[in-house]
Amino acid sequence: MLVGEQPGDQEDRQGKPFVGPAGHLLDRALEEAGIDPSEAYVTNAVKHFKFTQAEPRKRRIHKAPTLREMTACGPWLAAELAVVEPELIVVLGATAGKALLGSSFRVTQVRGTVLEEEIHGRAERLVPTVHPSAVLRADDREAAYRGLVSDLEVAARALS
């Protein structure tokens, strides 16, 4: 199971998670790490697209969700976890990490490691990493992409 932050513009328009540029990058990174994207359940911690829009017909710009919004969407994420019963959760970015593990979560401190935590009353194994959109925004995209693939390789090994 992969848990991202919130739907982006394309995801909101199509009603599916990770169908925009970050999703395409994530699929490529998963395949390179040895994980079949079609075998992964993909969702977001926050279920609505929060955005600003300078002018009508202009691009909708992502706004980070608040702790209140993460908390409000918690029951939906808990229900997904209960139904999916994932072998492993890949935590994509800080917002997903905070939604699952609490406000003290820092992706930079634990990325690429296997954590064992109780989430919504269930013991879970998690591998935190950066959100694919962070790779797209990075100054050194190649290095950021390599780091994402490396973290996903940790997840692949944890699944085998």
The arithmetic mean of pLDDT across residues 1-16, rounded, is 85
Q: What is the pLDDT of residues 53-89, one digit of tens each?
A: 767 777 767 777 877 777 777 889 999 999 999 999 9
pLDDT higher than 70, residue 2: yes
Instruction: Indicate the number of domains in the chain.
Output: 1
Q: How far apart are CA 71 and CA 89, in angstroms?
A: 19
3-state secondary structure 84-122: HCCCCEEEECHHHHHHHHCCCCCHHHHCCCCEEEEECCE
Q: How far apart are CA 36 and CA 34, in angstroms?
A: 7
Within 10 Å of residue 142's Cβ, how many Cβ atoms?
9
Does the CA dihedral 28-93-96-7 come out positive or negative? Answer: negative
Q: What is the CATH number of the domain that holds 35?
A: 3.40.470.10
The arithmetic mean of pLDDT across residues 130-148, rounded, is 97
In this structure, the dihedral spanned by the alpha carbons of residues 80, 50, 95 and 89, taken in order and rounded to 10 degrees, is 30
Lowest mean pLDDT among 40-44, 74-78, 124-128: 74-78
**pLDDT score, position 120:** 85
pLDDT higher than 90, residue 48: no
Q: Which domain holds residue 131?
A: 2-159
User: pLDDT tier at 115 (50, 70, 90 boundaries)?
Assistant: very high
User: pLDDT tier at 97 (50, 70, 90 boundaries)?
Assistant: very high
Strands (E), the chain: 2-4, 42-44, 51-52, 61-62, 89-92, 115-119, 122-129
